[in-house]
Amino acid sequence: MFAGKPVLVSVQSVACPSCILQLIRQLEEISRVPAVQEGKIIVVSLDIDPSENAGFIASYHDRFNFTGYTAHSPTDLSVNLFHTFGPFAIDPATVPVILVCPDGRDLLLPTGVKTAENFNATLVKEC
């Protein structure tokens, strides 16, 4: 299902109320990317809050018509993200998004809400 497709991982925490509006804006921008609409890119919303569970996260995204995948990050994955990409990768306030290319290369995108145009340019350049 994921083989041969780029994956956008939106790292978030539903426990960060001020981050929710930014998360919604980011997911709206991601949904505007033509390749996402065509199913050529996989989108995963990854909750790093250790006090939540996957069922809660899935129901939360149902309220916003999120059509990608939702997952709950085990603590060791969150620690690995920190060690691989630095503190911004696990800081929901920075709206972290990680791009994983089909060849396995990965890249933490710049902080803040990224536009659909930013995603298109990055996909062309990186993957």
Span 73-105, pLDDT tens digits: 888 999 999 999 999 998 888 889 999 999 999
Please check whether residue 48 lies inside any domain of the structure: yes
Any domain includes 1: no
pLDDT, tens digit, for every residue of 21-48? Answer: 788 888 888 888 998 888 899 998 888 8
Q: Is residue 101 a part of any domain in this protein?
A: yes
Q: How many domains does the chain have?
A: 1
- Residue 42 tokens, joined: 């996989």
CATH number of the domain within which 60 lies: 3.40.30.10
CA dist 42 and 48 (Å) reads: 19
Domain range for 33 is 7-126
Sign of torsion over alpha carbons 55, 30, 88, 111: negative
Residue 12 forms part of a structural domain? yes
The alpha carbon dihedral of 127, 26, 40, 3 has a sign of positive
Report if residue 13 sits inside a domain: yes
Quote the crossing angle between the two packed helices 116-126 and 17-31, to the nearest 10°: 60
